[in-house]
Structure 1
């Protein structure tokens, strides 16, 4: 059957549907680089098309309409979920208008999971998209790994298609992150089960410095608000969701270990393979970041292959099809500079202290502000408060003992960047934070339960709150944190060194 692909990107939909035996009637995408990539691989070079301005009368008739309107405005990864939803709905409306006017036999729209709830609400009577409600047979959140994609990638899949036939194909084993990395390294495609003669774009991703790796670890395993992720990423499971950006210090970046104990980001080819693009698929661009963006933004082709098969009443074949790009081999991506620029003066630091983080946004944090370095206690919940030094209870007879770094040396280490792979710079603020946590842990065993609970209750009374159950359950650790925080803050204000 013919299909029309909207917001087609680098070809995640078109590749899978073509491998399933369908033929393209139209592909529409505004990004020239993505059009070039799709054309290089699949042989149809399309002009740049702004789908928001596209008239349905200019769309050819086809029994299948598929598409992935931009997800940025709906993603929780976009500034904490603070995207411009109204702007995102412009693209959703443009796509649904085409579907309504062309009346295809099947249609499917893919986006981030958050859109599922938005659609269900806006399709109700009186909702902003109610005029399109009759188009929908189903709105689901699917995990792409259920169809063998080596990635735990949840997506909203909405539309009218053979849902039962698609669900019948669930259960295909998804390769692990480690298996994909090993496959790329050896030139074996573990998803599509073949070995292309040449594998491009597999230069390892950027090596991280000790500090960059530590920041990644903090964001993933010790974040003051969000739940924990593994660091480095677990090789024995399918990857977590890969994204269109792969920055050196990001909660979203997939980080893998090297044999020498260092860590690195994914290569373009590893990112694409985790998205289930065949190892032979070529990404056309002069830069690595564009190729990562094209691969990371795409819908996994293995899933779209399954969708295409379902529309034909078929299931996964015993022998998977082998993909050969029409254009042959594309030139390798131009290496991007790994040069690290000096950090700016006044570089902000904020990290939860290990051993003193209690989830639900309740944590002790080491921070630097215009006023200098300090340890604060942040208590989350509906009445979020930060206890600064004046709010912290007096330590009484208790004392936490450890080596304090000079505050000016901490600032120099942070602004210059500590690239010692062994992390031996004791004046780096991460090491200082660790020493505070260790001192508090040692002290907590010495504080009686009743004293600890009394200290916690007094601290919360100071800020006009009743001590929550979680704080009382962790009273000994929190009270020890109060002691260590007061001592550190007093030392900073006096600008002198306290030695054990």
Structure 2
């Protein structure tokens, strides 16, 4: 095959045109594109001059497809396969319908080449399907699928985005072209788009006067509450790995997602270089550039959220361009880089509508939920103490709760006052409790200045005052004080330290009911911290401040006497 060979392609699940842009830049004719979501169709048509209409691809008749097709590409919906969807509990059978439809089209058209993109999990689905006679995909095993999970940052996009690529195009041919690409970073994009006079696309090289660059409307900076919630979700998440906050500029960005709010673990957050201590999220243009779309590309959504969704669902045209060149047999020596073709790009006649970015919420319903892990009591893998509210009652209920286990097997210990009852008679730990009494009384006096419902009103922005995050921090500080007193009480007495560990394990075992105990090693490792957290949680949850009946708490199926047998009073 030659560089100038003429190829005809069909684009299934076309979205906003990530596949079509790469194909067309490589000189491949896109004979037909199929998509169902109208905002994506508007963007596809606006940039490619087409007249694509909404189509339910599942119901697409194979007889209505064009003939003599050399290449079939597409990105079937990934929602049901994504681990971001209900923790990976999507309807796999529902998602399978689109995979089957894609391969039915390929099998019907019999193109020389085909390629499909999806979330990484689909790689396992495809491999299992092609190997299992009873699987719906087994009948397509003859299509010669080569399945890999790739990172698009290695193929020109300034974004670390891992995706499954299944194709019969040799991966060696695609990877051979990437060696001519210079890695791009989040900082490359941010600085390039901030130029004052001429904007030079950091990926494609095309330039525009700064006045003609669209989609650069910035959100108001994150407020103190939003900043706290974003930082906690990224740096102190109780289950998932930590993220950098703010996002690092000297590396490809994290994955640009389709759904994210001003308070979200997934949001990419920048430190504003113009205002010290100020942080903001990405503009639409920055999102598009990180996804590999040129600065000339327009996003015809009706809102900021709609544009963010269409960009987050797209495939980077940087990758689709390289794949298209590989299909045409272009060699590394013939490949001139992205700039060579990028300089041919220009703005479409109609520019995208201006859509105001999201703003910080001014007020929320009184039912607004709250949950935040206590500082000093976050142990990862799901084990943590947190403060949360319950608005299902006439008066808001605020409780400290203790969770342990794993991300897929979380268990809870009720903090109902039993631990403090257990330990008051203990010579060592009981003494530590009495030493902490002054701090507890001081905090209780502060709480009397408000009520649970007043705290809820502040959280809903219906009134002003010290909100629940201040309470979270105070409880975390109190836990640190109690922990210091416990450590001083234990001292170098290894026997007592072991007794504390066994006491914590006994409580966790009782909370596990008929299940085997989990996280025993972590409970042992942090036993003195867990004990401090249980004491603080017990104390807070049983304050008269709550004005709650005792039936709020479930029984832990153990008595103080039983616990004291595990953690006896030293002679």
TM-score under structure 2 normalisation? 0.80
- Give the secondary-structure state (helix, strand or coil) at the position aligned to 1:25: strand
Equivalent in 537, 550, 568 of residue 485 of structure 1 = 537
1:389 corresponds to = 415
Q: Is it true that 1:456 corresponds to 2:463 in the alignment?
A: no
Q: Quickly say closer, same or farther: Cα 1:240–1:55, change in 2 above 3 A.
A: same
| Equivalent position to 1:261, from 277, 280, 283 | 277
Give the alignment of 1:26-105 within 5 angstroms: 26-60=32-66, 61-105=68-112
1:36 offset after TM fit, Å? Answer: 2.4
Does residue 368 of the first structure (1) align with residue 375 of the second (2)?
no
The change in CA–CA distance for 1:38 and 1:19 in structure 2 (over 3 A counts) is same
Q: Post-superposition shift, 1:326? A: 6.4
Distance (whole Å) between structure 2 residues aligned to residue 486 and residue 32 of structure 1: 54
SS in 2 for 1:411: helix
Tell me whether 1:472 sits opposite 2:524 in the alignment. Answer: yes
Structure 1 residues 48, 164: CA separation in 2 closer, same or farther (over 3 Å shift)?
same
**CA pair 15-411 structure 1, distance change in 2 beyond 3 A:** same
- Tell me the secondary structure at the aligned position of residue 366 of structure 1: strand
1:422 alignment partner in structure 2: none
Normalising by structure 1, report the TM-score. Answer: 0.91
Q: Which moved more, 1:147-156 or 1:98-107?
A: 147-156
**Structure 1 residues 34 and 383: alpha-carbon distance in aligned structure 2, compared to 1, 3 A threshold:** closer
Partner of residue 253, structure 2: 239
Question: In the superposition, relative to structure 1, how do residues 437 and 83 fare at CA in structure 2: closer, same or farther (>3 Å)?
Answer: same
Per-residue deviation, residues 57-89 of structure 1 (Å, max 9, x unmatched) = 222221111001111121111222232222221
Alignment of 1:97-496 (within 5 A): 97-124=104-131, 125-171=133-179, 172-186=181-195, 187-197=199-209, 198-258=212-272, 259-314=275-330, 315=332, 316-318=335-337, 319-322=339-342, 323-325=344-346, 327-336=348-357, 338=359, 340-369=361-390, 370=393, 372-381=397-406, 384-390=410-416, 393-394=419-420, 395=423, 396-399=430-433, 400=436, 401=439, 403-404=443-444, 405-406=446-447, 407-408=451-452, 409-416=454-461, 427-446=466-485, 447=487, 448=490, 449-450=497-498, 452-463=500-511, 464=513, 466=517, 468-491=520-543
Aligned equivalents of 1:473 and 1:245: distance in 2? 37
1:394-443 residue CA offsets vs partner (Å, 9 max, x unmatched): 25222443635524343232122799xxxxx6x32112112222222233
Please tell me whether the aligned partners of residues 285 and 333 of structure 1 are also in contact (alpha carbons under 8 angstroms). Answer: no
> What is the CA–CA distance in structure 1 between the aligned matches of 2:30 and 2:355, rounded to whole Å?
31
Partner Cα separation in structure 2 for residue 221 and residue 349 of structure 1: 18
Report the 3-state secondary structure (helix = DSSP H, G, I; strand = E; otherwise coil) of the residue aligned with 1:389.
Answer: coil
- Distance in 1 of aligned mates of 2:400 and 2:164: 42
For the 8 Å contact 1:375–1:388, the answer to whether it is kept is: no
Matched-pair contact (CA < 8 Å) for 1:40–1:326: no
Query: For 1:88 and 1:413, how far apart are their aligned partners in 2?
Result: 42
Distance in 2 (alpha carbons) for counterparts of 1:358 and 1:368: 21
4+ residue runs over 6 A deviation: none
| Structure 2: distance between partners of 1:392 and 1:226 | 31
Instruction: Quote the Cα distance in structure 2 between the aligned partners of 1:365 and 1:336.
Output: 32
> How many angstroms does 1:320 deviate by?
3.2
Distance 1:492 1:416 in 2: 25
Query: Which consecutive residues of structure 1, in runs of 5 or more, have no partner in the other structure?
Result: 420-424
Instruction: Answer whether contact 1:282 1:325 (CA < 8 A) is retained.
Output: no
Question: Matched residue pairs, number?
Answer: 490
Question: Is the contact between residue 436 and residue 484 of structure 1 (CA under 8 Å) also seen in structure 2?
Answer: yes
Distance 2:409 2:143 in 1: 43
Report if aligned partners of 2:220, 2:360 keep a CA contact under 8 Å in 1: no
CA 1:482–1:173 in structure 2 vs 1: closer, same or farther (change >3 Å)?
Answer: farther
1:10-53 Cα distance to aligned partner (Å, 9 max, x none) = 11001011112212111111223322222222222222222112
Kept in 1: contact 2:206–2:345 (CA 8 A): no
Q: Could you tell me how far 1:206 is from its partner in structure 2?
A: 4.7
Contact preservation (8 Å) 2:217, 2:357: no
In proportion to residue count, which structure has more helix? 2
